[in-house]
Amino acid sequence: MQHSGSGRGFRQEVITNMAWRGCVMKWAQTQFIRSTNTTSRSPRPNPCNQLRCGFRREAKRTDSKKGNVTQETNVSPSEAGAPGPPPPPRVPRPTLFKPLMFTVGFTGCSFGAAAILQYETLKSRVQSAKDEEEAEKLLQGSQDMTYWHDWWNQLSGFQQQLILLMSMVDDFWSSLTEGQRTVTGIIAVNAVVLCCWRIPSMQRSMIKYFTSNPASKTRCIPMVLSSFSHYSIIHMMANMYVLWTFSSGIVSLLGKEQFLAVYLSAGVISTMVSYTCKTVTGRLHPSLGASGAVMAVLAAVCTKVPEAKLGILFLPMVTFTAGSALKALIAIDTAGLIVGWRLFDHAAHLGGALFGIWYVSYGHKLIWRKREPLVKMWHDMRSPGAGGSRPGSRPGVSGSDGPGPGPQ
């Protein structure tokens, strides 16, 4: 009995041990499955999967359309800590090849068009003089003052007032110098562009085409248009006052057509210098204004006539020579460029001033005096039946450098 009781106890103990072993094995299997599922859901793949398809996954992540930075790294989250913000995209440095080619091409076209315009102007002046002589011969003795008195009395009061107003405007226009009449058109264009800046629907187009920025997608056309663009009324008035003041001197020095070529070219060249300095320093901010072109006009006159006396508008008692004023302006712009002042585009100011100095010193001889082949070709195209000009003679312009005395 004791033996049989001990046998039953042994069997019960075996059964109990087997039950506990089954529970332990089932619990271990459950934990293993859970750990396996957790590992498969984790962002970090296991070594086998990483070895087998890790390169394929990495290639897919790097080819994403939006270029987002992946959050998976080779370091576990516990070791790397909280993920930081992605680094800002690196802005590539703009290339200046297209603006440089545009500057060279636009400058050449400006002087070529100016030479042709001067030829056409002189030709029309000669024709107008002939027509006036013929008209005077026809009107001599044919009509007296009685005819014009009767004609005036036949007009209405409004027509008479309109004719008087037109006569006053014509007298005022005739009283201006040729230089002042030339820059009047430039001032009018600047005033129109200033008004366009006040129209809200045009803001996007104005920023795109009338501000120069080397980081912009549109970089060539704004090199010209920004020279006629001012956002501030004070900025425009200051530039146009300086241009009006020096207009008579520069036009009498170069002539109307040559002045226009110098002014337009100076605007583009000063913007190119500004592009270069902005690209080198990394300060890619937009600029606008006619300061570069105006500085070229001022520098040209001050270089040619350095002894001329200048004054300040609101301080007439303060006078100084043109040469001293030019040196002071160049020194201020050079200091502003070195220090990094951002109130003005000092690089554009320096570019315009240096171009004006270079042109009246050397550029006139290198560019304007060598325009004869272009003018001769234009003359042959305009007058194909004339058979060209006499050998050794200049067509249309017999040896003159322009309407005014050019720099020698």
From the CB of residue 249, how many other CB atoms can be counted at a distance below 10 Å? 21
Structure tokens at 170: 């014509």
Best CA proximity match to 341, nearest among 293, 283, 290, 291? 283
Tell me which of 110, 247, 274, 349 is the catalytic residue. Answer: 349
Is 235 noted as a catalytic residue in this protein?
no
- Annotated catalytic residue 247: no
Element (H, E) at 361: none
CA dihedral over 357, 358, 361, 366, signed as positive or negative: negative
CA atoms within a 13 Å half-sphere pointing along the CA-CB vector of 115: 23
Q: What is the DSSP string of 308-353?
A: -EEEETTEEEEEEEHHHHHHHHHHHHHHHHHHT--SS-HHHHHHHH
CA pair distance 102, 10, nearest whole angstrom: 104
User: Residue 3: phi, psi to the nearest 5?
Assistant: -65, -45
Listed residue (292, 246, 289) closest to 269, CA to CA: 292
Sequence-ordered list of residues with C-beta below 8 angstroms from that of 323, at least 6 positions apart, any chain: 302, 303, 306, 307
Q: 10 Å Cβ neighbour count for 345? A: 29
Catalytic: which of 212, 226, 265, 291?
Answer: 291
- Cβ neighbours of 21 (radius 10 Å): 10
The set of catalytic residues is 291, 349
